[in-house]
Amino acid sequence: MTSYGSPDGVVHARTAADVAGAVDRIRDSGTSLTVRSGGHSVARHSAADGGPLLDLGGLDDVRVLDSATGLVRLGAGATWGRVADRLAPHGLAISSGDTRSVGVGGLALGGGIGWMVRRYGLTIDAVVGAEIVTADGRVRTVDADDDPDLFWALRGGGGNVGVVTSLDVVAAPVSTVVRGTISYDLSDPAALLRGWRDHLLSSDERLSSIVMLIPETPLGPAHVLVEWCFAEPDRVAAERAASRLRTLGPVVADEVGVVPYADVLDDRVMPEGMQVAMRNAFVPSLTDACLDDTLALRSGAPTVLSIRGMGGAVDRVAPEATAFAHRAAEAMVVVARMAPPGAPTPSLDGPSDDWDAVARHGTGAYVGFLSQDDSASVAAAYPPATYARLAAVKRVYDPGNLFRRNHNVAPERPVVPTL
C-alpha cells in the first residue's frame, strides 16, 4: 500500500454526497484530484504530490442485496479481503485479485484478474451496475440501460470517467475451492515455462494458475512456483486438472488443500516506499519465441517474472462489450523489478533489457500492473478502437480532464499534422 504522499489536504468520503461535494469544490481550481480506494496503485497514482486527495476508505460497506441471485453491493473503498469475508457466510465469492488489502475501486476499474478468472471471468464481467460521481458533480446510477457509455468505460477504463462509489456485482456460488502451490528446481526455466504453457492450452477452465520465477533475494534462493486454484471444492477433479503441473520439472514442494475462498487471498503487502518498475503484455499465443524473449529479461537486473493464464470465461465476453478488450489473450506476461526506499530506481530499460521484444508478441497491457503512465504507454495498453472510444466518453463526461491522476486517457482529439 502506498502512503498518502504529500497532499495539500485529504477528504475522507463516507457517502456519494461527500464525493460529489469534493468534486464540485476541486473541479474549477485547476488542480488534479488524487483518488484512493485501497491505495495499491503500482504507478503511485493514489499518493498525491500536492493537490487534494480523496480517500474512499470510508465507503467500505459490503451488502448482500439478494442472496438467491448473488447480487451484492460493494463500497469502492472496501478491500477484497473484507468482501471475501462478508460474502463467505452466504456461500458467495467474487473472482477479484490475489491480495486481501487491494481495494475494490482500483482493481475492479482496471478489470480484475483473480484466482477464478478462467471459470468466472474478470471482476468486471460480474459487475451489473455502478454508482459514479462524474466531473459535473452529479451522482449517477449507471448500468447497461442508463448511461451505457459510462458503464462501458468504467469497466476497464480505470478511474478516467469519474469517481465510482459503489459497484453492484453478481457473486458466484462459491464457498470453498482447492488451492495448490508447487515449487520446482529452477534448473531449466525454458522447459518449465513451455510445459506450463502446454498445460494451460488443454486445462480445465475451473483451474486458474500463475507461474512465477523469483530471483535470489536476501530472503532466499531463486526459485520457481506454480500457484493454482480450482474453483470448486472437488479435490479429485482438482487433482486430475492439476496433474500435468506436477510433471513440469523436478518438484521440490507440493502443497494442496480444500480451503474457504477467503483463505486463498494473500495477506502480504508491499513494504512502504518499495520502488517498483512493472510492465506486462497480454499475449494471444505464448509461443516459444515469446517465452524466450521474456526469459531474456532475467539476464539484466534481478527480475520477478510471472505469467497468468487467461482464456475460459474471459474469452466468452465480446472485446467491445467493456473497455477491457484483451479477451482473446491466452496469458498475461508480467515482469517486475523492485528496490527498497533510497536504492537506485529500478528500471526495465537497462542496456541488456529488451521489453519491446516481449511487447511485440502482445496486444496491449493491463493498467493494474503498469508502473509507467506516460501517454504512449497508456495508448499502447488499449487497442486503438478501445482507446478512441474511451477518449470519446471522456470528452462527454470529463472534458476538463479533472480525473487525470491515473493511466490517463486524454479527452483531446489527436492532432493531425497539416502540410
Q: Using CB under 6 A as the criterion, which residues of the chain lie in contact with ligand FAD when the complex forms?
A: 35-42, 45-46, 56, 76, 97-99, 102-103, 105-107, 109-110, 112-114, 158-159, 163-164, 270, 368-369, 405-406
Nearest-approach distance from CB 1 to ligand FAD, in angstroms: 7
CA distances from residue 164 to 105, 119, 160, 281 in whole angstroms, order as listed = 7, 26, 10, 26
- Distance, CA of 183 to CA of 257 (rounded, Å): 15
Q: At what angle do helices 288-296 and 189-201 cross, to 10 degrees?
A: 140
Say if CB 382 and CB 323 are below 8 A apart: yes
Query: Which of residues 46 and 176 has its CB atom nearest to ligand FAD in the complex?
Result: 46
Can you point out the beta strands (E) in 84-206? 127-133, 139-142, 163-170, 176-184
Query: Which of residues 45 and 82 has its CB atom nearest to ligand FAD in the complex?
Result: 45
- Distance, CA of 120 to CA of 12 (rounded, Å): 33
**309, burial (CB in 10 Å: exposed 0-12, middle 13-18, buried 19+):** buried
3-state helix, strand, coil in the chain (%, to 5): 30, 25, 45
Nearest-approach distance from CB 74 to ligand FAD, in angstroms: 10
Query: Which of residues 56 and 226 has its CB atom nearest to ligand FAD in the complex?
Result: 56
Nearest-approach distance from CB 56 to ligand FAD, in angstroms: 5
Nearest-approach distance from CB 41 to ligand FAD, in angstroms: 3
Residue of 360, 370, 211, 220 whose CA lies nearest to 280:
370
Query: Which of residues 50 and 250 has its CB atom nearest to ligand FAD in the complex?
Result: 50
Which single residue brings its beta carbon nearest to ligand FAD?
106
Query: Which of residues 53 and 241 has its CB atom nearest to ligand FAD in the complex?
Result: 53
Nearest-approach distance from CB 127 to ligand FAD, in angstroms: 13
- Distance, CA of 63 to CA of 83 (rounded, Å): 9
Nearest-approach distance from CB 154 to ligand FAD, in angstroms: 8
Q: What's the half-sphere exposure (Cβ side, CA atoms, 13 Å) at 196?
A: 32
Nearest-approach distance from CB 403 to ligand FAD, in angstroms: 7
- Distance, CA of 358 to CA of 355 (rounded, Å): 5
Nearest-approach distance from CB 6 to ligand FAD, in angstroms: 15
Query: Which of residues 115 and 355 has its CB atom nearest to ligand FAD in the complex?
Result: 115
Query: Which of residues 100 and 197 has its CB atom nearest to ligand FAD in the complex?
Result: 100
- Which bin fits 162, alpha (ψ -120 to 50), beta or left (φ > 0)? left
Nearest-approach distance from CB 46 to ligand FAD, in angstroms: 3
Query: Which of residues 209 and 406 has its CB atom nearest to ligand FAD in the complex?
Result: 406
- Distance, CA of 104 to CA of 111 (rounded, Å): 11
Query: Which of residues 7 and 368 has its CB atom nearest to ligand FAD in the complex?
Result: 368
